[in-house]
A = this chain, B = another copy of it.
């Protein structure tokens, strides 16, 4: 039985500090759980002299990645730098030096997961990445272990805290997007360049990882259709609520007839769904399987300690292996590229908000275009008219995306139509 298990940390930002702090503070309980002592060997940072909240002995700072790679006492490398490079090179070197890797890096795993899993397997070591999806909320281990007897058929999730925070505040305060964004930036919930979050890119990374593991074929981040929340207005929230919906940035994927569809977009979601009641920065992932039906996991999706919790669970899992002298390789077979159903071939319901001249014949012209495209109307609401411009809201039944887009183009070109103010997909 190994007496000490060496852990080295790449990155000492918000998450890295949380991990280091816990490894130090809970040394005794982790030793009990693992049967060996977890020792923080090295920490790699860009600037050793930076002021930090955490007290770390200067001796722990590594001079270079090579010092860690060449350190025989380091059994596990934790990567919390983020981004593709140098993270990918560092991880690859670590794996090739027979070190286990735990990472929170969603972009890297979304883009290169299968490759890195292969490198780990060739070296008889493990790479785990629970923290890459939904932060502190367990979801990857449950997919790999707890649903192993099931066929997973779909994933429906709120997995970006920033956008859910913004949308929650827009909903409760009846505020507009840019107003709330500014405040979220002040409060540290959104970055100064919020693109990655508000355009759905971050959520797409996470959906790509979960879908690849669930359907056992590689769903690349570029396979995920992606639409952000920047066009959602206070008006859309008002109307959505009247109709019994919330507006959420939903990450959704489905496995059907051996094909995957995966998309991230703002969605009108019925208030009686659990996901409609996920507020603030929290995350929720709903997995549908053949045996269980729907199972939902809900909790903190980011933050220093919640993310540290997920990283530490992976570290302790691997450490138990090392302690008992046997490496338990993970079943993460991601066979090949998934066959992807393009968004244009998907059927969804739509909410369409149109401003048009308040005159006879408008509805007839719009409904003729919809009928021509085989789009059937579930409900039609004429909102108050103002200065000769009426606001019309159309809720459709399920229709082919391609047809919807063609119909929207024709409606937009009608002389009586001022604008298509918004069009948002709907999930009941």
Chain A interface residues (CB < 8 Å from chain B) = 18, 22, 26, 29-30, 32-33, 130, 136-138, 141-142, 145-151, 274, 277, 289-300, 305-306, 308-313, 315-317, 320-321, 324, 326, 328-329, 331, 333
> Contacting A295 at CB < 8 Å: which of B149, B289, B299?
B299
Q: Nearest chain-B residue to A142 (Cβ)?
A: B138
10 A-B pairs with CB atoms under 8 Å apart are A18-B291, A22-B149, A136-B295, A145-B145, A145-B313, A150-B309, A274-B298, A291-B306, A291-B308, A295-B298
Instruction: Tell me whether B299 and A298 are in contact (CB under 8 A).
Output: no
| Cα distance A310–B312 in the bound complex, in angstroms | 25
Instruction: Tell me whether A297 and B295 are in contact (CB under 8 A).
Output: yes
| Cα distance A152–B149 in the bound complex, in angstroms | 28
Q: Which residues of B contact A321 (CB under 8 A)?
A: 328
Chain multiplicity (copies): 2
Instruction: Tell me whether B26 and A148 are in contact (CB under 8 A).
Output: no
Q: Which residues of B contact A329 (CB under 8 A)?
A: 324
Instruction: Tell me whether B149 and A30 are in contact (CB under 8 A).
Output: yes
| A30-B149, A149-B30, A313-B148 given; A299·B300 CB < 8 A | no
> Contacting A328 at CB < 8 Å: which of B150, B291, B312, B326?
B326
3 nearest A-B residue pairs (beta carbon):
A149-B312, A295-B299, A138-B146
Smallest CB separation, A154 vs chain B (Å)? 14
> Contacting A141 at CB < 8 Å: which of B136, B145, B274, B310?
B145
Smallest CB separation, A333 vs chain B (Å)? 7
| Cα distance A329–B328 in the bound complex, in angstroms | 12
Instruction: Tell me whether A309 and B297 are in contact (CB under 8 A).
Output: no
Instruction: Tell me whether B138 and A308 are in contact (CB under 8 A).
Output: no
Question: Which residue of A138, A151, A312, A328 has the most chain B CB atoms within 10 A of its CB atom?
Answer: A138
| A142-B138, A326-B326, A329-B324 given; A149·B316 CB < 8 A | yes
Smallest CB separation, A177 vs chain B (Å)? 24
| A296-B299, A297-B296 given; A148·B305 CB < 8 A | no
| Cα distance A310–B142 in the bound complex, in angstroms | 11
Q: Nearest chain-B residue to A32 (Cβ)?
A: B333
